[in-house]
A and B are shown apart, each in its own frame.
Chain A
Amino acid sequence: MNVPQREVIQESIRNLYFHVCMWFSMMILFTVSVVNAVKYLRNNDLTYDILSRQYAVVGIVFGILGYSTGMIWASFTWADPNNPASASFASIAKDPKLIGAAIALLIYFAYLVLRDSIEDIDKKARISSVYNIFAFALLFPSIWIIPRILESLHPGGQGNPALNPQDIDARMRMVFYPAVVGWTLLGVWIVSLKVRMKKLKEKTFYR
């Protein structure tokens, strides 16, 4: 299928179906995770806690994949061997969008560390649910607000990255939206496997 021709990214615009979908899936999975955290705090049902934790973990995996693919994409588009100011990956890695995404992911890493450092099951569930809400709240400034305010090489400074009509057109949208749904469903499937395993584990543990 034909894609719009853009100056720097050329055919690599097709990474939209992979790199951008990773981040979209991550956001959706984190949102489901925080919803389950709130549900746990309201009902005190440990099932929601398991769901919340597994959604967060798979969200982190997608985030890491999004970051890694972004590194590859950037090193062949933003990095320009003929321009000394941006010749290497190191010179472009200080972009505010990269740092914002790194902060967001580190906050979620801390969620796992915090969670696994508490022995008591109820205390663990309650503290990590509260921390999950905090981590989700920090997603807003770190990946949605600050990168839009500061000047960045990453597209989307003036609007939504990847949804801007200057970046993509109807032909790409036709693939992009189903791709987002598909990747997210892949994540949900992995989550469901992990949840089933976790429940089985707890059953054998309490027997």
Chain B
Amino acid sequence: MIKRFFLSIFLISCSYALLAQSFGDNMRGNGKIYVVVAVLVTIFIGIILYLIRLDRKITKLEKETKINH
């Protein structure tokens, strides 16, 4: 799971880096403000994915404690 998380974040940013030329015109236009948007989206997706992973772990733990009681 943690591997999948790391991989997804890394691949998202890789795709940006590799696609830089193809949609570079938009990203370089308007004073490159869309770079900030891309960065913000990456951080948002990263933290949300991490929190979802944490949520799943807690759900699992809740189920386990229910069985024990």
Contacts and interface: CB of A to CB of B under 8 A. Distances in A.
A81 B21 contact: yes
Given A89-B20, A186-B47, A64 B35 contact: no
Q: Give the most central of A65, A72, A77, A186: most B CB within 10 Å.
A: A72
Nearest to B14: A71
A19 interface: yes
A147 to B, nearest CB: 20
Q: How large is the interface on A (under 10, 10 to 19, 20 to 34, 35 or more residues)?
A: 35 or more
Interface of B: 6, 9-10, 12-14, 16-18, 20-21, 24, 27-28, 30-33, 35-36, 38-40, 42-43, 46-47, 50-51, 54, 57-58, 61, 64-65, 68
A111 B46 CA distance: 21
Interface majority SS (helix, strand, loop, mixed), chain B: helix
A69 interface: yes
Contacts, number: 99
A190 B46 CA distance: 13
A71 B17 contact: yes
A200 B16 CA distance: 40
Interface of A: 9-12, 14-15, 18-19, 22, 61, 64-65, 67-69, 71-77, 79, 81, 87-89, 186, 190, 193-194, 197, 200-201, 204, 207
B21 A18 contact: no
A10 B13 contact: no
Given A61-B46, A79-B20, 13 more contacts: A9-B32, A10-B31, A11-B30, A11-B32, A12-B35, A64-B9, A68-B12, A68-B46, A69-B43, A71-B14, A72-B13, A76-B27, A204-B68
Contacts of B20: 75-76, 79, 88-89
A185 B56 CA distance: 22
